[in-house]
Each structure stands twice: as C-alpha cells, then as structure tokens.
Amino acid sequence: MKLDILAIGVHPDDVELSAAGTILKHIALGKSVGVLDLTKGELGTRGSAELRTQEATNAISDRHPDHGRSAKLAVDACFYSGLIKIETILDGISQSAWRPKAVYHYIQDNFIEPDFVIDITAFMDKKTEAIMAYSSQFFNPLSVEPETPISSKNFTRNIKAKASIFGRAINCDYAEGFKVNRYIGVENLFDLK
C-alpha cells in the first residue's frame, strides 16, 4: 500500500502526542496516512506491551533518548532507501531505489522552536481523543503504577498549552510544530498562513 504520509514513533503514543492533529487534518484532506511504532512499549514504566498495542489500535532532541535515536534511524533509512546500489527485496520482489520528498520531525516533549507549524484547531478535540486512547500512560487518581513525566495531573493540559503557543504564531487557536533537516520549498509567497 502506498502512503502519502508515514508517521514514525518509537513508542505507541509518541505520534499521537506530537502529530495527531496534523495526521487527522491530512486524512480529512484525503491523504493516506500510516503510523509506524518502532516498539510495543514493552520497556515502559506503565502498562504492558499487550495493553499498549490495544491502546494503539484505538488511537491513531527529546527527554527520552529513544526519540532522538528513532528520528535519526528514520532519516538514515530514508537516505539509504534512495541509493541505487543497495538492493532490497520484499516478498521475493526486487524494489527500486526510492527516497521520500521530505522528512519532518515532530516536536515532542522539550520545547523546541519549530521551523514550521500546522494549524490543527479543527482537530484538537480528536487529537485529545487519540491521546487519551493510551489511558494507561496518563493521570488516573486510582492508578497504583509508578508516576512518570506524562502521567502527572497537568500533562494533558500542557499538550494543549503547547499547541496554543504554536498556534499563536500563525494566529490560530492550536498548531503542531515541526523541524526540518533541509529547506522547504514554497511555490509562492501568497499561500502562507
């Protein structure tokens, strides 16, 4: 299946926390989107691999060292996939060299100044629903599991606050921020927000 967007996260919930609004917006625009979680969250402090997989089914430079490593892994994979002298075979069929047009890095935990932001105002409530599908990871006053940075009482409020700050830069209620490794080409100066 060919995708327009492949969103990659190291843990189940990473993509939803950082880019769910952008994904939902592009799905509404008719784009095909896939989410690739590199792990099942099996080493996470809270929940289990089985529970995180179930939660993922219900949803769509960083504090956690795995996040930066997975971003580099994705960038490296994109580079190598375009080398014509590397032969890859899938199900016995040789694949042609191909490289994505662009790689964008979503901003997750630390506050990093984005290179661009996307208005997600119309999708903020759905983004929150997608995040809350990972209920094992967030605040629950009855939980007996260890507390983590994302299980604090105010964490989900902080996600909305960050989206609000990013939105302010383009005069909308909520936005998600992204970093780039290379310049983004713009067709003209008038279709900007």
- Confidence at residue 90, expressed as pLDDT on a 0 to 100 scale: 84
The domain made up of 5-180 has a fold known as Rossmann fold (3.40.50)
Are the C-beta atoms of 12 and 4 separated by less than 8 Å?
no
pTM of the model: 0.81
Per-residue pLDDT reduced to its tens digit, 62-116: 445 666 677 788 888 888 888 999 888 889 998 899 899 999 999 987 889 999 9
Extended beta strands in 32-186, E state: 33-37, 88-90, 93-95, 104-106, 116-119, 175-180
The letter for the amino acid at 25 is K
Residue 5: pLDDT band by 50, 70, 90 thresholds?
very high
Q: Which amino acid is at 135?
A: S
Q: Check whether 60 has a pLDDT greater than 50.
A: yes
Q: What does the alpha-carbon distance between residue 151 and residue 135 come to, in Å, rounded to a whole number?
A: 9
